Amino acid sequence: MNDERDNNSNLEEIKTIGQIKWEESAGGRRFYIIYPKEAFHDFERRILSKRACAYVLPMSFIEEEDGLRVYYGCAGCLPLKEAAALQRGEGRRQRPDHMVGSSIGILMEVLENLKKMENHLLFPDCILLSMNEVYIDTGNGRVFLAYFPDKHDHDDRTFQKRIANLAEEMKILYDGSDAGHFLTRFIQFVDDHNPGLDGMINMLGMLRRETSYIYRAAENFRNNISENCNESDSYCGCGDVEQNKVKDTAKRIKRNDKRKSRVSVKLIFVQMGFVFIMGALVLWGKFDGIQLAGITIIGAAIDLYAVKRWGHIFVGGKASSGEKQVLFSG
């Protein structure tokens, strides 16, 4: 399967690179292709020349005697192949989660751009999905696609296979890193389930959340190295201090839960005793119903005040204000 994808990728490059000519313009690079005059529909020319679709490279059109010269502006952008190789070369100076997040983010933005382009009646069949025709803005990291109107005449692969091929090319550059592992999972998902655009975007979103959980969890529980510690040391005791703090916090919460349970049980017995005494007095004819109701309301108010004000008495020791807040916050 990989060989088939590589061959298809090479065919894509042969079909387009031979037609592309590069030139310098106003300090920036751009390339152009000579198309037949009928290659673009009128609505495509209007949308692309006015830059109404922000997801493709800026394009301009010049009519000539022998055809239509179409310029693609890519100043400040690099093909994905070069941008990924540059990032891969800097991998040792980057955190692993940045590498993974970047690779997944680029592929997700490609798919999201394709989906948004459909709102302008520009469809994926006219986009070459290879690392030479997907461009990355080096300033802000945005992804731009190159629009080729005759693309659908030369490629009979399904959209899913073209996306899988792009992910396969990216995987080769990120091979040996965590990013390569997650790209492999995405490729396997596409091969097994043949999803649509939304399905692939959702899968990449799940992978992104998974990587966020893995790396952020490691970040949150990572040893907090102080300024005086030498990071090159093979062992630092600061991590033990942080771990002990976590353990102490857990023990304190567990202890407060037990205290709260004991307080609840003792209060229940006190209230049951109060009800028993009041009932006995009523049976002996000491109070009528109205008097009993009034005394009960007053007793309940006193009971509530006692719980909030002196609840630590039932625990069996003097509690701090912080502990009382924990005890009776629930």
pLDDT 10s per residue in the chain (330 long)?
Answer: 555 544 444 434 434 444 788 787 766 788 999 999 899 999 999 999 988 899 999 999 999 988 999 999 988 899 998 888 787 666 545 555 566 778 899 999 999 999 999 999 999 989 989 898 899 998 898 999 999 986 555 567 899 999 999 999 998 887 767 888 899 999 999 999 999 999 999 999 999 888 877 766 555 444 444 444 444 443 344 444 444 554 565 666 666 666 666 656 666 666 677 667 777 776 776 666 676 677 777 777 777 766 665 555 444 444 444 444 333 333
3-state secondary structure (DSSP) of residue 118: helix
Q: What is the pLDDT of residue 157?
A: 85
* 76 backbone φψ class: left, alpha, beta (φ>0; ψ -120 to 50): left
Q: What is the pLDDT of residue 153?
A: 52
CB 116 within 8 A of CB 55: yes
Q: What is the pLDDT of residue 112?
A: 96
Give CA–CA dist 86/83, Å, rounded.
5
Q: What is the pTM of this model?
A: 0.59
Q: What is the pLDDT of residue 57?
A: 94
The CATH fold of domain 16-218: Transferase(Phosphotransferase); domain 1 (1.10.510)
The contacts of residue 183 (CB under 8 Å, 6+ apart) are: 103, 104, 107, 167, 168, 170, 171, 174
3-state secondary structure (DSSP) of residue 149: coil
